[in-house]
Amino acid sequence: MGIDISLFLEKLREEIKSYKVPVVELVSVQTRDPFKVLVATILSARTKDETTAKASERLFKVAPDSETLATLSQEQIKKLIYPVGFYKAKAGYLSNLPKALEAFAKKVPSDLDDLLTLPGVGRKTASLVLNVAFQKDAICVDTHVHRIMNIWGYVSTTTPLKTEMALRKKLPLHHWQEVNTILVTFGQGTCHPVSPHCDRCVLLDLCPKKGVTPRKIH
């Protein structure tokens, strides 16, 4: 018998109210501007939230929209976003972004396939932009979502893409927009990839803990 996914997400929704919100969601609270949400999401890949937040703030002070971003050289963008992970590659993506947006009247598109044509945008980034900037139903699967859904045994998959496809078939539609925010926040705060805090987990008595080695309590 599988887990009650709605119960699990309901408990975590309450639990994470006191946690730090992931930076992309924080940007969306401050502004619903799809351009800023997109850029922050690109910068956030393989980068700590604090670093992403500072880099986004520096960049947006100089280039708050695609028109002003187009006036910056790739070298200027590098200096503004350093030290985000893979900052050289990301500077290249952002340098090419204004030109790519011309195909969509210089606006960030609200369609998954259109978003995937933009530089530096994969399925995770595209889905997160659809969720956060456009409030559209899309399942954003990052490493936390992939890992925790497998820990729960809700899916049995080997990659984030396979997890996304499995969740599309199984996860109730009304959870699609919230699942990434809930599980990323929970994964950063309690259910860590290494030595998770099972001892203080609100799901301690419910979680199947598949493949988990709990943190040692001294």
Per-residue three-class SS string for the chain: CCCCHHHHHHHHHHHHHHCCCCHHHHHHHHCCCHHHHHHHHHHHCCCCHHHHHHHHHHHHHHCCCHHHHCCCCHHHHHHHHCCCCCHHHHHHHHHHHHHHHHHHCCCCCCCHHHHCCCCCCCHHHHHHHHHHHHCCCCCCCCHHHHHHHHHCCCCCCCCHHHHHHHHHHHCCHHHCCCHHHHHHHHHHHCCCCCCCCHHHCCCCCCCCCCCCCCCCCC
Told to judge if 124 belongs to the known catalytic residues of this protein, a careful annotator would answer yes
36 plus 130 within the same structural domain: yes
Residue 206 lies in a domain: no
> In this structure, are 14 and 55 located in the same domain?
no
**Co-location of 54 and 125 in the same domain:** yes
* DSSP-derived 3-state class of residue 1: coil
The secondary structure of the chain in percent helix, strand, coil, rounded to multiples of 5, reads: 60, 0, 40
Does 175 lie in the same domain as 104? no
Q: Which amino acid is at 123?
A: R
pLDDT for 24 equals 76
Q: Residue 118: which domain range?
A: 31-134
Per-residue confidence (pLDDT) for residue 35, from 0 to 100 = 96
Return d(Cα 80, Cα 167) in angstroms, integer: 37
Q: Quick one: 130 and 43 in the same domain? A: yes
Q: Give me the pLDDT at residue 90, please.
A: 98
Q: Which CATH number covers residue 178?
A: 1.10.1670.10
Segment 152-171 shows an average pLDDT of 97
Residue 216 has pLDDT above 70, yes or no: no
Mean pLDDT of the residues in the chain: 93
Q: Are 170 and 141 in contact (CB under 8 A)?
A: no
Residue 65 and residue 117 in one domain:
yes
50-101 pLDDT per residue, tens: 899 899 999 999 999 999 999 999 999 999 999 999 999 999 999 999 999 9
Catalytic residue among 124, 137, 169, 205: 124
The CA radius of gyration of the chain, in Å to the nearest whole number, is 18
**Quick one: 122 and 152 in the same domain?**
no
Residue 213 confidence (pLDDT):
82
Distances (CA, A) of 179 to 2, 7, 101, 133: 18, 13, 28, 15
Instruction: Return the pLDDT at 125.
Output: 93
- List pLDDT tens digits, range 178-187: 999 999 999 9
> Which of 1-5, 22-26, 56-60, 102-106 has the weakest average pLDDT?
22-26
Residues 6+ away with beta carbon under 8 Å from 130: 110, 112, 115, 136, 138
Q: Which of the four pLDDT bands, split at 50, 70 and 90, describes residue 31?
A: confident
Q: Is the pTM of this model over 0.85?
A: yes
Alpha-helix residue ranges (DSSP H) falling in 116-158: 123-134, 143-151
> How does residue 28 score in pLDDT terms, banded at 50, 70 and 90?
low
Tell me which of 2-6, 47-51, 60-64, 170-174 is least confident.
Answer: 47-51
Q: What is the pLDDT of residue 111?
A: 97
pLDDT in tens, 33-63: 999 999 999 999 889 888 998 999 999 999 9
Asked whether residue 213 is assigned to any structural domain, the reply reads no
Q: Domain tally for the chain?
A: 2
- pLDDT value at 11 more than 90: yes
106 part of the active site: no
Q: Is residue 117 part of a domain?
A: yes
Specify the pLDDT at position 22: 79
Check whether 112 has a pLDDT greater than 70.
Answer: yes
Q: Which of 17, 107, 142, 162 is catalytic?
A: 142
